[in-house]
Chain A
């Protein structure tokens, strides 16, 4: 459904993404595993179409359509959305309004703000009327972000580290929400650097130095990540020698 073909991005003279190829399948949870600084959030921004991340080499195809030059809104209306790692806060905008905004362009059978809050483990009565502002904790704000993406019932949800900044006891809830997306028919691109979270996926890809090093079974990719990428010295500096060779990473 989503195809990234030879994607490349240079920001401020630095090659952040290089020759990146990735394909997601309809309804799958696809984890992107990578250490800090390897380009995970950049990849999320490129797929969502954020400003500053639109001048890329290569192509982005969604259901066969070239979306490389489309704006964020145009991509969202085709069913692509993003849950930010650190979501924005809005003065004067209630949680109910915020979650409801995405429903204008939602797919069939989207859930109400109340239902979405319940799915992310928040009591609706305590949150619907509250503002999406700095009075919310980081964890609360992230759950509301997930609820707003749920409400949109997108075709592709890019979840940028939904597990970061969440207390350990709540990780299970976040994992359950991610599975809910998939049960609703939404394809999830799950960006994380937690192996245990990445392993809930149907498939996973390891990102290192701005390129996909290995794609396949999540457990195998997590092992590959652990053995080759966590200590990688080549963050954001992919060299020719770092190419995948039949799924085996050749470290320098």
Chain B
């Protein structure tokens, strides 16, 4: 077995654990890109979907484009990971979704053995006119928590385009997570940022979601669901800037604290530049809602089981 094959096999196993379908990485009819550390160990293009990749000393560059008008039936699978205990993986990516194209990306990032790993993702996303892009990123980490995860995403959504972006890190312990998403929305564009994170041990979590409603009738939602347990500290900044007439934006943040030493803060920021914009926010921080817990306890669950059901549901 070649070194690449071994790496692919190990990454596939971790991919499965993180919830991915490893068979899809070998499916000729699905677009895919698999990067272990700084090695591109799998890449598959399909009609209308172009995936270019190049290795760098510390990671990889990827350029993914979808031709205008292409409706991609199966999700495009992206798998990034570092299997050893230590390593750096810096991913620089560009997504260009052509006008009227429709595509879903399922990204899985796996670091099952990480003790000292740095994973950065600098992504530029362009969603063309009336195009629709869904990007769902799920992380799987081991329990050691020695990882720095630093995703920075800059998005431009053209007229009538739509992006739904979900980031999910609910398995394992991360270490340090700093999410920084920014969306620039043109006329009639729609953007949803949704971060779901379960922080444990000494994790430090920072989530910043910024949406600039620059076009008339643009719509934006900055949503986050964070659980801070043990001695985890979390901070969420959700901001929406209403620069255009009839634009609508909402910040929706819920943070749950489990444990006396956990800390959480939320800063919703709404800026109305055009007085015809309408921005709203809701933020809730605290322990798990008592009524929810007692409702489940009245069905026989213990208090811990009930809290777990509530938390898992929120992060689902």
Contact = CB atoms under 8 A, between A and B. Distances in A.
Contact of B315 (A88, A92, A131): A92
A152 B310 contact: no
B260 interface: no
A104 B299 CA distance: 8
B304 to A, nearest CB: 10
B73 interface: no
B5 interface: no
Interface stretch (A77-85, A180-188, A209-217): A77-85
Interface size class of B (residues with CB under 8 A): 20 to 34
A152 B300 contact: yes
Interface stretch (B97-105, B155-163, B200-208, B286-294): B286-294
Interface residues of A, number: 25
A92 B227 CA distance: 14
Given A84-B295, A101-B309, A92 B316 contact: yes
A93 interface: yes
Contact of B295 (A71, A88, A91): A88
Interface residues of A: mostly helix, strand, loop or mixed?
A: mixed
Contacts, number: 64
Contacts of A81: 298-300
B22 to A, nearest CB: 26
Interface in B159-190: none
B273 interface: no
Interface string B273-295: 00000000000000001111011
B286 to A, nearest CB: 15
Contacts of A88: 289, 291-292, 295
Contacts of A148: 299
B290 A82 contact: no
B290 A93 contact: no
Interface string B64-92: 00000000000000000000000000000
Contacts of A222: none
B161 to A, nearest CB: 26
